[in-house]
């Protein structure tokens, strides 16, 4: 991987300011949180969403990584359609397999598009919001190591470095790709799942109050939440992926620190901290109320605007 100058890395890792160019890499159909994140992005016109990439996933909603990617691509098109946004030149299929242990890149339209956009970027970096297995991004970096100089990767993946393991869904299915990202020297912002993104819980009553009835988009989000989350007293659901969009759209909700990039072992645990490793930014806390207040206000405003 092409080395990134330390001063350049620190500049890229500074908290985002101004209008941001970014792409989103998302396993959109794996559950329901990616849909909320994509809606949040589409309702944040102060930043420039340039592309949406379908990421692979494998759980009980797919028959394998390739099927997961295709279902994610279809879901991306559906959500863009709800917003009346054309998908041509915006939505791209990603990899049909995870990066293997030998770390050979997986060719895809998403990886090629990411390379092209990073290389055509001006002086300001291209942010890459990665919401799932990170093979598309790792493959692009392996195919074109030079792009490391002009991208910032904001990844929802893994647990905090002090956690006994890091076997959350995004990382454990794509360990080799996560190793590429963390070992690359790139400007990486890690949003851990346990105790960090996990703070972004919401409930069915909150969905009923703030999302249901807010146009076709609000009704769609409410419907998938209602159908996915089992009912019961005090039942809540984490909408993990909105954390990545909040990093851009609601920066005051984020508390983070620069830390040595953690060492990821093949068994999806963290190795001992190595102080000499290059720094990454690790999010420590997310103000849940600021994020949801912003998201709900945007959904309501969009519904009101469309109805008028």
Domains in the chain with CATH codes: 6-307 (3.90.245.10)
According to the model, what pLDDT value does residue 54 have?
99
According to the model, what pLDDT value does residue 123 have?
83
Question: Between 215-228 and 65-82, two packed helices, what is the crossing angle to 10 degrees?
Answer: 150
Backbone angles phi, psi at 233, to 5 degrees: -60, 130
According to the model, what pLDDT value does residue 308 have?
67
Q: What is the mean pLDDT of the chain?
A: 97
Alpha-carbon distances of 178 from 19, 58, 113, 241, rounded to whole Å: 28, 16, 20, 17
Given a cut of 70, the residues of the chain with pLDDT beneath it are 1, 308
Question: Which residues touch 215 (CB under 8 Å, ≥6 apart)?
Answer: 299, 302, 303, 306, 307
Taking only the tens place, the pLDDT of each residue in 104-123 is: 999 999 999 999 999 997 78
The model scores a pTM over 0.85: yes
Ramachandran region, residue 276 (left: φ > 0; alpha: ψ -120 to 50; beta: rest): alpha
Contact criterion met (CB below 8 Å) for 33 and 291: no
> Would you state the structure tokens that stand for residue 162, as one six-digit string?
């002090």
Question: What DSSP string runs through the chain?
Answer: -PPPPHHHHHHHHSPP-SS-EEEEEE-TTSSSHHHHHHHHHHT-TTSEEEEEEEPP--STT-SSHHHHHHHHHHHHHHHHHHTT---TTTEE---SSPPPTT------HHHHHHHHHHHT--SSPEEEEE-S--HHHHHHHHH-GGGGGGEEEEEE-S--TTSS----HHHHT-HHHHHHHHHS--EEEEE-TTTTGGG-EE-HHHHHHHTTTSHHHHHHHHHHHHHHSPP-TT--EE-TTHHHHHHHH-GGGEEEEEEEPPPBPTTS-B----TTSPEEEEEEEE-HHHHHHHHHHHHHHHHHHHH-
Backbone angles phi, psi at 98, to 5 degrees: -80, 160
Pick the closest to residue 254 from 278, 281, 221, 218 (CA basis): 281
Cβ–Cβ contacts within 10 Å for residue 94, how many? 32
């Amino acid at each position: 991987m092409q080395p990134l100058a330390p001063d350049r890395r620190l500049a890229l890792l500074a908290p985002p300011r101004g209008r941001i160019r970014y792409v989103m890499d998302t396993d959109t159909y794996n559950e329901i949180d990616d849909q909320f994140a994509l809606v949040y992005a589409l309702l944040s016109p102060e930043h420039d969403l340039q592309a949406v990439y379908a990421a692979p996933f494998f759980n009980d909603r797919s028959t394998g990584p390739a099927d997961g990617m295709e279902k994610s691509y279809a879901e991306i098109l559906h959500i863009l359609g709800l917003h009346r946004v054309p998908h041509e030149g915006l939505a791209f299929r990603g990899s049909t397999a995870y990066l293997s242990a030998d770390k050979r890149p997986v060719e895809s339209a998403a990886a090629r598009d990411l390379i092209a956009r990073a290389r055509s970027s001006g002086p300001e970096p291209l942010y890459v919001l990665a919401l799932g297995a990170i093979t598309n991004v790792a493959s692009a970096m392996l195919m074109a190591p030079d792009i490391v100089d002009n991208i910032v990767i904001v990844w929802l993946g893994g647990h905090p470095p002090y956690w006994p393991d890091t076997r959350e869904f995004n990382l454990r299915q794509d360990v080799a790709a996560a190793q590429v990202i963390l070992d690359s020297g790139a400007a990486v912002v890690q949003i851990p799942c346990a105790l960090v993104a996990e703070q972004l819980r919401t409930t069915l009553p909150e969905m009923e109050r703030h999302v249901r009835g807010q146009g076709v988009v609000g009704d769609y989000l409410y419907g998938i939440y209602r159908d996915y989350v089992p009912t019961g007293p005090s039942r809540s659901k984490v909408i993990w992926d909105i954390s990545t969009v909040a990093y851009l759209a609601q920066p005051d909700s984020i508390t983070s620190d620069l830390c040595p990039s953690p060492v990821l072992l093949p068994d999806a645990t963290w190795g001992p901290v190595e102080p000499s490793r290059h720094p990454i930014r690790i999010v420590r806390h997310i103000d849940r109320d600021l994020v949801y207040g912003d998201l709900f206000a945007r959904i309501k405003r969009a519904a009101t605007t469309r109805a008028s």
